[in-house]
Amino acid sequence: MKTHKVEQLIIATVGFFWCFLMWFATAAFSPSIADRYGLSVAALGLLASSALWMAPIGRIVAGWTADRFGAPRTFAVILGVCGVVSIASGFTTNYTLLFIERVIVAIAGVSFVVGIQHVAQWFDNDEIGTAEGLYAGTGNVGAGVGALLLPRLFGLDYQGAFISLGIGALVIAAWYLWRGEAARDHATRDATAKGAADWRGTIFVWSRYIAIALMLAYAMSFGLEIALNSWLSSYFAEGFKAEITTLGFTTVAGVQVAAGTFGAVQSFMAALFRPFAGFMSDTFQKKGWTPLPVVAKTLPYAPRLHWLAIALLLIVLAMLALAAAGMAGLLPVSIVALVALGLFISFGTGGTFALVPLLFPTRPGVAAGFIGGLSCAGGIVYPLIFAGGASMHMGYAYTAIFLFVPFVLFFFWAARHERSPAEHGIGEFKPVSE
């Protein structure tokens, strides 16, 4: 079949965008669902968290499956299964069953690593940054587009939305199978499929302090991004109920539209500014900027470590600002803080993956699976903290102080070595091929 790499990029991007749309459609309709089933704030936190339960292990498995069977078949299966269950959830009237079905639909979130692998099989090194930026940014913003548009298109009819999204997923799955090609040539494909699973290399990467630090950095950025995707609609609907009502949004449908619009800013900023973050990491590298104490200054990629550390500090500050704006009841200030938080999250996500191939040049796949997969666990924990306190607003401050500050301190500690940070880890284990 005659195809072109741009066609493959478009297929992967559309598939990933739709997966993100399905993944966070539950969150976009959380006010409707809460109204219909009488859910408490804690129950909304659990619903938001449940969207992420399948991500950590699912992403690691999906990466291996894509290598073994090819991205088109893997992606089509993900879209097909999630599409069918999404349609089924549109006919469900029991909340427990709906909850279970939406957890299954959330498997769509694992598609990220499949598309990353697909794009990497088609583009050369000198284009891969832009290609992956287009794929990841455009796909990730599916969450924001869903929060912004789904309540406007479907109103309270979340069931109709789930059915429509499921049908769309089946159509895209068929398209992916029809036009998708796993790699640009047989040699590339065979080399990937035959790549033996090296468990010694996996243990080596997983036990390195700097890999753990990057995983925590990604949990602070991407983990937080997906947690907020599933949480913010509920947060604005409940936490700023009086302010939103004062603005004239008095019905459940109106509150849903307003809450979705306010929450969408985070997704748009975090997703679409991610390539800019990679550009900033490159700028730090070119200029040789190493302004922070403790963090290594002489490593070849030291400026990139400093850029990521700055991003992590900014995330902590933005989380505290978001909590303060919420406690003060200042809706516009809260949105400005959220815009800043989204931007800083993009700095963190882009900054982390600008470092992964440099720190683990011989095992980028294993490192990406560990860092990109396990970090999603953060997205499971954060909504529970956001919803668990006496005040919805203080959840951001608790998360920043009790989780993020220790994460940042660990990053500084792990990134202090002036020679080969990857040599330092738990035990003296080292794979033969390293």
Partner 1 sequence: MAQQALDKRQPDAWYKYGVAFLFAEMGIALCVCGYALFMAFTGTGGFPGH
- Which residues on adjacent β-strands are paired with residue 425? 208
- CA 396/CA 401 separation, integer angstroms: 9
Q: At closest approach, how far in Å is the CB of 281 from partner 1? A: 15
C-beta of 235 vs 249, nearer to partner 1: 249
Write out the two tokens for 154. 């479907």
Nearest distance, CB of residue 282 and partner 1, angstroms = 14
Instruction: Tell which residue, 186, 109, 180, 166, has the closest CA to residue 142.
Output: 109
Which DSSP symbol is given to 425?
Answer: B
Q: Which is nearer to partner 1, 131 or 371 (CB)?
A: 131
In whole angstroms, how close is the CB of 12 to partner 1 at the nearest point? 14
Nearest CB to partner 1, comparing residues 161 and 271: 271
Residue 284 to residue 100: CA distance in whole angstroms:
45
Q: Which is nearer to partner 1, 264 or 305 (CB)?
A: 264
3-state helix, strand, coil in the chain (%, to 5): 80, 0, 20
Question: 172, 17 in Cβ contact below 8 A?
Answer: no
Q: Are 266 and 338 spatial neighbours (Cβ–Cβ below 8 Å)?
A: yes
Ramachandran assignment for 198, one of left (phi > 0), alpha (psi -120 to 50 degrees), beta (any other)? beta
Which of 257, 305 has the CB closer to partner 1?
257
Q: How far is the CB of 108 from partner 1 (least distance, A)?
A: 21
Closest CA to 140 of 319, 320, 353: 353
Nearest-approach distance from CB 392 to partner 1, in angstroms: 17
Please name which of 338, 281, 283, 286 lies closest in space to residue 311, comparing C-alpha atoms.
Answer: 281
Q: How far apart are the first and last CA of the chain?
A: 39
**Residue number, 328 or 426, with CB nearest to partner 1:** 328
Minimal CA–CA distance to 264: which of 148, 395, 386? 148
Residue with Cβ nearer partner 1 (105 or 147): 147
C-alpha count within 13 angstroms, C-beta hemisphere, residue 413: 12
User: Could you please report the per-residue DSSP string of 187-211?
Assistant: HHHHHHHT----HHHHHHHHTBHHH
Binding residues (CB under 8 A) for partner 1: these are: 5-6, 124, 126-127, 130-131, 133-134, 137-138, 141, 144, 148, 151-152, 155, 246-249, 251, 253-258, 261-262, 264-265, 268-269, 271-273, 275-276, 331-332, 335-336, 339
- In the complex, least distance from residue 367 CB atom to partner 1, rounded to whole angstroms: 25
Going along 190-341, which residue ranges are E strands?
none
Nearest to 328, CA basis, from 394, 256, 264: 394
When the beta carbons of 147 and 380 are compared against partner 1, the nearer one is 147
Pairwise CA distance, residues 313 & 117, whole Å: 31
Q: Given the complex with partner 1, which of 41 and 339 has the nearer CB atom?
A: 339
- Work out how close the CB of 192 gets to partner 1 at its nearest, in angstroms, rounded to a whole number: 22
Asked if 229 and 143 count as a contact pair (C-beta separation under 8 A), the reply is: yes
CB of 31 to partner 1, least distance (A): 11
* Residue (86 or 138) nearer to partner 1, CB: 138
**Shortest reach from residue 6's CB to partner 1, in Å:** 5
Least distance (Å) between residue 134 CB and partner 1: 6
